[in-house]
């Protein structure tokens, strides 16, 4: 059973930056692909960034060039560096872990993920 805990959310003005972190309590961390999703009251879970077991990445068009996902397999951590934030980035952000079939798999759809954190809120003001 994987337990995920996010941190690093907060309030920031447009154009600012935040760095989200996720710690996974699972010694076999390298068996999982990891991803960040976000959710607003009007939308379901939107996959925004994913990283495979071997570090290959995938981004949604809405965040490409502004957000960077990374993982530290030695520390069982996942990060999301968010730059040039916009008001439309306001959401609850979740990290997720999936038992991937392939070493380079990094899907952005929620059904590919088995474990979810509790979320951390990000608010971007204009």
Contact 79, 117 (CB under 8 A): no
28-71 pLDDT, tens digit per residue, is 888 899 999 999 888 888 999 999 999 999 999 999 999 999 99
- pLDDT of 80 > 90? The answer is yes
Give the whole-angstrom CA distance, residue 19 versus residue 35: 14
Structure tokens at 31: 């068996």
From 33, 29, 79, select the one nearest 53 (Cα to Cα): 33
């Amino acid at each position: 059973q994987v337990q995920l805990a996010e941190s690093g959310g907060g309030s920031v003005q447009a154009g600012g930056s935040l760095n989200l972190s996720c710690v996974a309590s699972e010694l076999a961390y390298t068996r999982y692909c990891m991803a960040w999703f976000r959710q607003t009251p009007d939308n379901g879970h939107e996959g925004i960034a994913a990283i495979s077991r071997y570090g290959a990445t995938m981004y949604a068009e809405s965040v490409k060039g502004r957000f960077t996902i990374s993982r530290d397999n030695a520390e069982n951590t996942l990060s999301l560096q968010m730059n040039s934030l916009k008001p439309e980035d306001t959401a609850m952000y979740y990290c997720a872990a999936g038992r991937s079939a392939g070493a380079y798999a990094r899907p952005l759809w929620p059904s590919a993920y088995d474990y979810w954190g509790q979320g951390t809120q990000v608010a971007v003001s204009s």
